[in-house]
Amino acid sequence: MTIKVLRKDTINEAIILFCGQKARVKCDRKCSKAWGLNRRSRQQLSETDEEDYCFLADSELREAPRNPGTYECGSAKPLTPDEFPQKWCVRECERCAISSPGKWMNDLELKEFEVRSYNIDHS
């Protein structure tokens, strides 16, 4: 259940009910570049740690397919950013940020895909 949705030209933001608690979700409205967590191309960085990888930058990838073949509870990737938020956005889209349930007052930072996005911080 969506409680509140804010749409701008460059950002979608909403307060939703997630796991029975309010959560904030935010997206960059770039559905044409959204592959999904399980389909976006990545480079494996460690031979022993499967969680040590980086997603490739947008410039390294072509446009994402309208249907990348991933679903969340029957929801497919939205055809337009105006369909935000729905289950695919919140659970599968690599571009969508979500707060921890109950922590909806905090602001969220979106991942930047102008450069590679690393799953593990090595600094």
User: What does pTM read for this prediction?
Assistant: 0.85
Task: Report the C-alpha gap between 81 and 70 in whole angstroms.
Answer: 17
Peptide bond into 81 cis (omega under 30): no
Task: Report the C-alpha gap between 27 and 12 in whole angstroms.
Answer: 5
pLDDT, tens digit, 9 for 90 and up, residues 43-90: 999 999 999 999 999 999 999 999 999 999 899 999 999 999 999 999
**If pLDDT is split at 50, 70 and 90, which confidence band does 1 have?**
low
Asked if residue 2 has pLDDT above 60, the reply is yes
Based on C-alpha coordinates, what's the Rg of the chain?
A: 15
Mean pLDDT calculated for residue range 3-11 = 80
Q: Where are the domains of the chain?
A: 2-118
